[in-house]
Structure 1
Amino acid sequence: MDNTDRRILRTLQRNGRISNQDLADAVGLSPSPCLRRLRQLEADGRIAGYAALIDRKACGLAVTAFVMIRLQSHAGTASAEFERRVAAMEEVLQCHLVSGVHDYLLEVVAEDLEGYEDFLRHRLHALPNVAAIETSFSVSTVKRTPACPVPASD
């Protein structure tokens, strides 16, 4: 990956809907080589996909919760079963296996506190092998970006 590829990635992170012509202009290429590089970045897995950024509150999801979970046991397939079930929950936007006192950190969205309580009582508490659940609520979002820092050079 060279500096042109990095410029392509940075530009796409700012505007994923940019036309190939505008992308080529922004990175200093003609359209055909720019499209070839873009397709190669996709094929290499450096671009994993494209998505729209949704305004959560405008879509009725006013509550963001960060949920720390500790499992009772990691034996056998316990962790894999937990991960499989959490991955199927659409309220869970992210699930990270973490180090420290807790095993997992989840980012969860809900319409309101009652919606989160329902999720907690009927979905999370229903999971087997969960020893502890702790929740912190987001009061406000200071920064939210899907963009990844792309170094300028090797």
Structure 2
Amino acid sequence: MIKIDERDKQILKLLQEDASQTTKQIAAKIKLSQTAVYERIKRLEREKLITSYVALCDLEKVDKAFTAFCMVKLVNHTRKSLEHFEKDILTLDEITECYHISGEYDYLLKINVKNIKAYRQFMVEKLTSIPFISSTQSAFNINTVKYSTAISLT
């Protein structure tokens, strides 16, 4: 496991809050030189503690505010069915997250579309056309109480 110290954690926390911050801004906040911050960030990237930088979109403004969670049960759990399902899921842009889970269902999908009509169309035309699906169950987001992409480092 890669060892990180408190300064690294401070940098990671700040970048998770706003990845567009400059090394100068971060250096001022944690009272370290710009060069030291730059070198630490590059090391964190090389060691894959930082895996990517992204821009998060306002779902309302991009017309994708309808969020559904769909649980999927496969017909069987053969290597072929799992691999086929996962390969097909990766091609569907409406799915923003996919987890292989334990319990009654096999997968949990997070889906963002325009509205319920778009969700139905997605289900009928795309998701249910994937082989090996036995059943699905959907739940719809009423209100987002907490949303964060940041991982606690404490």
Q: TM-score, normalised by structure 2?
A: 0.96
Q: What CA distance in whole angstroms lies between the structure 2 residues aligned with 1:10 and 1:74?
A: 39
Taking only aligned residues, the RMSD between alpha carbons, in angstroms, comes to: 0.8
Comparing 22-31 with 131-140, which one deviates more in the overlay? 22-31
Tell me the SS of whatever aligns to 1:125: helix
Aligned mate of 1:20, from 6, 19, 23: 23
Structure 2: gaps (5+ residues): none
**Structure 1 SS opposite 2:61:** helix
One-letter amino acid matched to 2:106: D
Deviation of the 1:62 alpha carbon: 2.5
Q: Aligned pair count? A: 151
The CA deviation string for residues 1-47 of structure 1, in whole angstroms up to 9 with x for no partner, is: 11100000011111111011011111221011110000000111111
**Share of identical aligned residues, percent?**
28
Structure 1 residue 76 displacement after superposition:
3.3
Amino acid at match of 2:121: D
Flag as ranges the 4+ runs of structure 1 deviating above 4 A. none
Instruction: Determine if the alignment matches structure 1 residue 39 to structure 2 residue 42.
Output: yes
Whole-angstrom CA distance in 1 between matches of 2:89 and 2:79 = 18
Amino acid across the alignment from 1:148: I
Match among 92, 97, 105 for residue 94 of structure 1: 97
What are structure 1's unaligned runs of at least 5 residues? none
Structure 2 matches for 1:5-154, cutoff 5 A? Answer: 5-151=8-154
Partner secondary structure for residue 133 of structure 1:
strand
CA distance in 1, matches of 2:116, 2:5: 47
Q: What TM-score, normalized to structure 1? A: 0.96
CA distance in 2, matches of 1:68, 1:23: 41
Q: Render the CA deviation track for 1:31-79: whole Å, top value 9, x for unaligned.
A: 1111000000011111111111101111111210000000001113110
